[in-house]
Amino acid sequence: MEVGIHYAPAPQGSGARIVKPGWRVDAISVVNPNLQPGDSQQVGTDFMEWETVIGLEIHTQLATRSKIFSGASIAFGAEPNTQACAVDLGLPGVLPVLNKEAVRMAIKFGLAVGAQIAPKSIFARKNYFYPDLPKGYQISQYELPVVGKGKLTIELEDGSSKTIGITRAHLEEDAGKSLHEDFHGMTGIDLNRAGTPLLEIVSEPDMRSAKEAVAYMKKIHSLVRYLEICDGNMQEGSFRCDANVSVRKKGAPEFGTRAELKNINSFRFVERAINFEVERQIDILESGGKVVQETRLYDANKHETRSMRSKEEAMDYRYFPDPDLLPLAINAQDIQAVRETLPELPDAKKQRFMQAFGLSDYDAAILTGDRDLANYFETVVKTAGEAKLAANWIISELSGRLNKEDKLITDSPISAAHLAGMLQRLTAGAITSKMAKEVFDAMWNGEGDADTIIEKRGLKPADNSAVEKIIDELIANNAGQVEQYRAGKDKVLGFFVGQVMKLSQGKADPAQVNKLLLEKLKK
């Protein structure tokens, strides 16, 4: 998402870019000179008469301790098949027992998007054969999902917002993994992932561009992390999506024929895959062809989508209610109990940041885009006050640095307390902005807190008499420039400021220099 950010006030989400799975923030993005085909800037004006219609199915892995229907651990990265118990292996005679924590997490999500929680929902079997699907069916929800219709508002680049409908969200189990390498023409099966709880969040076909889809996906990503129901780790597959994409002539009443793009596991890929697919479909339609309804796989390496199976080849999953599981009944008390655990949600937090701290929409959006980042900010402000200053430092210096070094805010080498300490010194005038950057670098390198660094390095702003002396000398030696300034050429002030800073070896406080120069030049 390097593109689509620019310097314009950015919507929440798009200011914070995801470089690699995990959440990293970078406000100082530039237009990427190395545009990849499919990046948003490449599509546009040619296709003005066409409208893109997108719906997303987002699979979020729920952050439970154990699997959705067994007691086995869901921790990532274990040796193959060491986290698969008899239930996960689908041994004869085993039975599923629903993990109540997964249900609570689904309710949490439902409440956060204002959806109705079904008083009774049904687990169904989705039947198909695949070696990494141990039972020959996946337990999912079909006709009656746990979370019904809800909605989510996304902010767009032009500063406007749009509400995306959420059709449903349902609980299901993940399959295992087939490993095709290292087995000499055979396939290895790792069932550690089998039975991992997923919440599949299905949107309405409400998005009209790849960017909207990305904004929506990011918003969901932020939300599930706020709710602490998903770690959002896309590299490990904890958060991935399928996109239903179609195009139609602008103003057409009916949707076009859609293709389903499978298993997209990054924000960048979702944009590229959709844009590629839109282009492909428009090409077909403009050359008089017909789009076929099919499932397509996005290949990030070749940057293309290719057909997996057509509608005719679509599997008949023979869904039917799982007789091993009773209908899931959720009453008002259950819902209330979950409601009481809801954290402040991103939109509410953003509003509060704007009101309580006087932050701009842009800054507030970035800071609340990630719950950990928001917490960091609030911790800094609690100690240092100066919310706007704190926001600037966190958004530009800290996030930029984190992004560059591929670190999460939770792994920041500079703690919130250290940053607050440095900001306190800065606002007290004990160091200059330039020195603050030096302190920041030193803190980043683990040299201790601000006071320690300031003391060790003997940092202090040049005193006024020294600065005054420099200014007096400059005025005496540069009569021409003084004349120009007094004649109304304000720009000359910059020359003097620069000279003072140079002669003071940067120790002068620019604000102080400005003030003194203005006084002395007037005389």
Partner 1 sequence: MSLYRKSLAELAAGLHTKQFSSVEVTQHFLDRIAKHDKTLNSFVSITAEQALAQAKQADAQLAKGSMAALTGVPLAQKDIFCTQGVKTSCGSKMLDNFIAPYDATVVSKCKQAGLVMLGKLNMDEFAMGSSNETSYYGPVKNPWDTTRVPGGSSGGSAAAVAARLTPAATGTDTGGSIRQPAALCNLTGLKPTYGLVSRWGMIAFASSLDQAGPITQTAEDAALLLNTMVGFDDKDSTSLNRPTVNYTASLKDSLQGLRIGLPKEYFAAGLNSDVAKVIETAIAEYKKLGATITDISLPNSHLSVPAYYVIAPAECSSNLSRFDGVRFGYRCNDPKDLNDLYQRSRGEGFGAEVKRRIMIGTYALSAGYYDAYYLKAQKVRRLISDDFKRAFEKVDVIMGPTSPNTAFKLGEHSDDPITMYLCDIYTIAVNLAGLPGMSIPAGFAHNLPVGLQLVGNYFSEAKLLNIAHQYQQVTNWHTQMPKGFE
The verdict on 127 binding partner 1 (CB under 8 A) reads: yes
Question: CB of 156 within 8 A of CB of 212?
Answer: yes
Q: In the complex with partner 1, which residue's Cβ is closer, 98 or 497?
A: 98
What burial letters (b/e) apply to 493-522, b meaning 16+ CB within 10 Å? eeebeebbbebbeebbbeebbeebbeeebe
Sign, Cα dihedral of 39, 42, 45, 48: negative
Instruction: Check residue 453 and give left, alpha or beta (phi > 0: left; psi -120 to 50: alpha).
Output: alpha
Q: Cα separation of 106 and 99, whole Å?
A: 11
Dihedral angle of Cα 187, 188, 193, 195, to the nearest 10 degrees: 70
Q: How many residues does the chain have?
A: 523
The verdict on 326 binding partner 1 (CB under 8 A) reads: yes
The verdict on 285 binding partner 1 (CB under 8 A) reads: no
Q: In the complex with partner 1, which residue's Cβ is closer, 90 or 148?
A: 90
The verdict on 179 binding partner 1 (CB under 8 A) reads: no
Q: Cα separation of 224 and 152, whole Å?
A: 12
Q: Cα separation of 512 and 517, whole Å?
A: 9
The verdict on 325 binding partner 1 (CB under 8 A) reads: yes
The verdict on 98 binding partner 1 (CB under 8 A) reads: yes
Give the chain's radius of gyration (CA, Å).
Answer: 28
Q: In the complex with partner 1, which residue's Cβ is closer, 90 or 413?
A: 90
How many residues bind partner 1 (CB under 8 A)? The answer is 28
Q: In the complex with partner 1, which residue's Cβ is closer, 323 or 488?
A: 323
The verdict on 125 binding partner 1 (CB under 8 A) reads: yes
Least distance to partner 1 from the beta carbon of 141, Å?
15
- With CB under 8 A as the contact rule, the residue among 37, 44, 114, 136 that binds partner 1 is 136
In sequence order, what DSSP letters do the residues of 175-192 get, joined into one string?
--EEE-SSSTTS-EEE-S
Per the listing, tokens 């604000």 go with 511
- With CB under 8 A as the contact rule, the residue among 102, 117, 122, 189 that binds partner 1 is 189
Q: In the complex with partner 1, which residue's Cβ is closer, 124 or 431?
A: 124
Give residues with Cβ within 8 angstroms of 519, minimum separation 6: none
Reported as type and span, the H/E element at residue 284 is helix 267-286
Q: In the complex with partner 1, which residue's Cβ is closer, 94 or 179?
A: 94
- With CB under 8 A as the contact rule, the residue among 316, 479, 488, 494 that binds partner 1 is 316
- With CB under 8 A as the contact rule, the residue among 79, 129, 333, 522 that binds partner 1 is 129
Instruction: Check residue 44 and give left, alpha or beta (phi > 0: left; psi -120 to 50: alpha).
Output: left
Q: In the complex with partner 1, which residue's Cβ is closer, 94 or 345?
A: 94
Enter the DSSP assignment of 292.
P
- With CB under 8 A as the contact rule, the residue among 37, 114, 131, 289 that binds partner 1 is 131
- With CB under 8 A as the contact rule, the residue among 109, 137, 269, 357 that binds partner 1 is 137
Give the 3-state secondary structure of residue 166. Answer: strand
The verdict on 114 binding partner 1 (CB under 8 A) reads: no
Amino acid at 412: S
Residue of 370, 252, 371, 243 whose CA lies nearest to 295: 243
Q: In the complex with partner 1, which residue's Cβ is closer, 70 or 209?
A: 70
Expressed in percent and rounded to 5, the helix, strand and coil fractions of the chain are 40, 20, 45
Query: Which of these segments, 23-31, 123-131, 452-460, 492-500, binds partner 1 (CB under 8 A)?
Result: 123-131
Residue of 277, 255, 276, 150 whose CA lies nearest to 202: 150
- Write the interaction track for partner 1 spanning residues 56-95; mark x where CB under 8 A is met and - where it is not: ------------------------------x--xxxxxxx
Q: In the complex with partner 1, which residue's Cβ is closer, 99 or 209?
A: 99
Question: CB of 78 within 8 A of CB of 107?
Answer: no
- With CB under 8 A as the contact rule, the residue among 96, 110, 197, 369 that binds partner 1 is 96
Q: In the complex with partner 1, which residue's Cβ is closer, 90 or 237?
A: 90
Least distance to partner 1 from the beta carbon of 3, Å?
42
Least distance to partner 1 from the beta carbon of 326, Å?
6
The verdict on 320 binding partner 1 (CB under 8 A) reads: yes
Q: Which two tokens stand for residue 98?
A: 């629903």
Least distance to partner 1 from the beta carbon of 134, Å?
6
Least distance to partner 1 from the beta carbon of 171, Å?
14
Query: Which of these segments, 122-130, 152-160, 372-380, 457-465, binds partner 1 (CB under 8 A)?
Result: 122-130
Give residues with Cβ within 8 angstroms of 334, minimum separation 6: 107
Residue of 355, 405, 397 whose CA lies nearest to 376: 397
- With CB under 8 A as the contact rule, the residue among 22, 38, 55, 134 that binds partner 1 is 134
- With CB under 8 A as the contact rule, the residue among 59, 67, 104, 135 that binds partner 1 is 135
Amino acid at 310: S
The verdict on 97 binding partner 1 (CB under 8 A) reads: yes
The verdict on 193 binding partner 1 (CB under 8 A) reads: no
Least distance to partner 1 from the beta carbon of 319, Å?
8
Least distance to partner 1 from the beta carbon of 135, Å?
5
Give the bridge partners for 202, in sequence order. Answer: 57, 168
Residue of 123, 112, 135 whose CA lies nearest to 195: 135
The verdict on 185 binding partner 1 (CB under 8 A) reads: no
Enter the DSSP assignment of 96.
-
Interface residues with partner 1 (CB under 8 A) are 86, 89-98, 125, 127, 129, 131, 134-137, 189, 316, 318-320, 323-326
